[in-house]
Amino acid sequence: VTKGSILYEGKAKKVYSLQNNNHDNQCVLEFKDDLTAFDGNLKDSRDGKGILNNKISSQLLNYLENQGVSTHFIKCLSDREMLVTKTKIIPIEVVVRNIVAGSLVNRLGLEKGTELAYPVVEFYYKEDKLKDPLINEHHAIAINLATSYQLKEMSNLALRINQLLKQYFYDLNLILVDFKLEFGRVSGEIILSDEITPDTCRLWDKLTKESLDKDNFRENKRDVLAGYEELYQRIQRRLEKD
């Protein structure tokens, strides 16, 4: 597999086509070392972050595939590169929350760490210039982001992924607080087409409640990369046990 031209560059990844045109249904994701927060207002770069995220995401997507969830993941190609199925991304970020943190603290006026009685699914319109506003199903349908059926499907998939990941992380002595997913369409099906990394999840140690995710960067707390490294080590230890 050889990388072709660049198709898209985001804040944390670059997307490339493949050189061999027989594979125009696949693309290569390259994970960057850049870190951003607060709609790109806070920026930094940490050597090796992209490598850790590629490895973490590969393990988690592979786990979900083994549990019967369709994802874009095909295989890990190198330290920073992953081969994925090309999809038409639906411009909606789906957030699932188990515990109050981040933007929900002020929206609902609840203390960080409050347990939610049921998982909460939220939709955000993926549009940088509007700073990804929170929307509901009616907005999404009215401006043609997705159909009612697709929204239901995304919400069901997100809840199923939440169940699977919650248990997976619990076994690593971690609490899955919340996370963001994106979905894409390919031949009539909706599949998970995103990374699952500490850039896009909140994960707390079960006992100390210490964050192992990007909140360490957002809040300038513990060394952000040390948290990512620890998460990767816990995933690896579980793999060796299985």
Q: Does the footprint of ligand C5P cover residue 201 (CB under 6 A)?
A: yes
- In the set 179, 217, 228, 232, which binds ligand C5P (CB under 6 A)? 179
Closest CB 18 distance from ligand C5P, rounded Å: 27
Minimal distance in Å, beta carbon 130 to ligand C5P? 12
- CA dist., res. 92 & res. 151, Å (int): 9
How many other CB atoms sit within 10 Å of the CB of residue 179? 25
With CB atoms as reference, the residue minimizing the distance to ligand C5P is 102
Phi then psi dihedrals of residue 158, to 5 deg:
-60, -40
| R_g of the chain computed on alpha carbons | 17
For position 202 contacting ligand C5P by CB under 6 A, the verdict is yes
For ligand C5P, the binding residues in 48-107 under the rule CB under 6 A are: 93, 95, 101-104
Q: Which is nearer to ligand C5P, 72 or 214 (CB)?
A: 214
Point out which span in 27-35, 67-75, 178-186, 219-227 binds ligand C5P (CB under 6 A).
178-186
Q: How far is CA 212 from CA 56, 72, 119, 123, 204, in A?
A: 13, 25, 21, 24, 6
Least Å from the CB of residue 122 to ligand C5P: 8
DSSP code per residue over 80-121: SEEEEE--EE-SEEEEEEEE--THHHHHHT--TTPEEEEEEE
Beta strands 13-18 and 26-31, pairing class = antiparallel
| CB closer to ligand C5P out of 4 and 102 | 102
Residues forming a β-bridge with 35:
44
178 binds ligand C5P (CB under 6 A): yes
- Say whether residue 132 binds ligand C5P (CB under 6 A): yes
CB of 19 to ligand C5P, least distance (A): 31
The residue among 63 and 217 lying less far from ligand C5P, judged by its C-beta, is: 217
- The most distant pair of C-alpha atoms in the chain lies apart, rounded to whole Å, by 53
- Would you tell me which residues interact with ligand C5P (CB under 6 A)? 93, 95, 101-104, 132, 178-180, 200-202, 214
